[in-house]
Amino acid sequence: MRYPSSNKIYHKPISHANRGMNLEALINETNKYYIENNLVYITKKPTPIGIVSVSDDEKKMITKAFFKEPSTLDYSGVYKGRYIEFDAKETNSTTSFPISNILGHQIDYIKKLINHQAIVFLIIKIKNEFYVIDGKYLINYINTSSKKSIPYKTIIKNGYKIDSDGLIKVNYLPIIDKLIGGLHEKV
């Protein structure tokens, strides 16, 4: 299948981003808990922007800039020495996760990271449940399936369900342990 092409200038906010906001807030809270308890160091990346002009005075304020389309994933960090990167994706569909939610550059980027043995995944919110989809599974699915979305049943079967544990809203860390335990395959 083909994935959407990308533009250099990104008009933010767009609907995809909004759709992810609630999940993002939950993940941000989770990461805060993880970091405070020294379990992992994972943070949201700075928004990529292009700076057009900066003020001439000594304050050096940015007076014009534009949002760039993100070509990486939203979160990255380190866990037990391993490089971790993931994205949070939310869908209102109750039947499947549309692959168009992932931007074109992001798919190439996921492949690159996997080839350097990074732990890469998506956290998908669907039907008020949270799943980890391993990046290797995702790339394999895109390469071999003609479908433009991943059915809910497939997500249940091949994803990892994330538990909510009171203070830890989206407790994805135990699943990273499982992914680290897996074999590293080239994609």
Q: Which residues bind a copy of itself (CB under 8 A)?
A: 11-13, 38, 40-41, 45-49, 51, 58-67, 76-84, 112-113, 115-119, 184
Query: Is 3 or 79 the residue whose CB approaches a copy of itself more closely?
Result: 79
Number of alpha helices (DSSP H) and beta strands (DSSP E) in the chain: 5, 12
Minimum separation from the CB atom of position 88 to a copy of itself (A): 18
Minimum separation from the CB atom of position 95 to a copy of itself (A): 31
Cα–chain center distance at 53: 30
Query: Is 3 or 67 the residue whose CB approaches a copy of itself more closely?
Result: 67
Minimum separation from the CB atom of position 138 to a copy of itself (A): 17
CA gap 168, 93 in Å, rounded: 25
Query: Is 21 or 66 the residue whose CB approaches a copy of itself more closely?
Result: 66
Minimum separation from the CB atom of position 114 to a copy of itself (A): 10
Q: Which residue, chain included where needed, has tokens 């994805």?
A: 172
CA dihedral 20→22→26→29, nearest 10 degrees, is 100
What's the Cα-to-Cα distance from 152 to each of 27, 95, 126, rounded to whole Å? 21, 5, 8
Query: Is 120 or 162 the residue whose CB approaches a copy of itself more closely?
Result: 120
